[in-house]
Amino acid sequence: MAQGTLTPEALEEISQFFRLLAEPTRLQLLCQLRQGPMDVASLIQATGFSQSHISRQLGQLQRAGLVTSERDGVRLLYRAEGALVDDLCLLVQTRLRQRLEAQLQHLAVS
């Protein structure tokens, strides 16, 4: 296999990862958790989502390795998995900034 060529299995895995990130609820939860650890009750208050919806989305984010959890007494605190989530957010923000700057330059020339 040539360097840079992905197997069908690898492509499917990547595709599933991007589908996971394409869900607005999960993105909102990641944004909340980037600010610091939170329990489900705090996430309900911050987002307005139901407990069952948040729990289901957190489970998917945990399975993908984007969120971790730890016990704090009776509470379960969730946190964004620092470096990976930060890198993903930076990558997307950089790309969006580049596109907006290109659009602004195009408008300035027109």
Is 56 a member of any domain?
yes
Is 2 a member of any domain?
no
Q: What is the CA radius of gyration of the chain?
A: 18
Q: Give the number of domains in the chain.
A: 1
Report yes or no: 38 and 78 within 8 Å, Cβ to Cβ.
Answer: yes
Report yes or no: 46 and 14 within 8 Å, Cβ to Cβ.
Answer: no
4 has a pLDDT exceeding 80: no
Put simply, whether the predicted model's pTM sits higher than 0.85 gets the answer no
What domain range includes position 49? 9-81
Beta-sheet pairing, 75-80 with 67-72: antiparallel
pLDDT bin (cut points 50, 70, 90) of residue 44 is very high
Is 92 a member of any domain?
no
Is 98 a member of any domain?
no
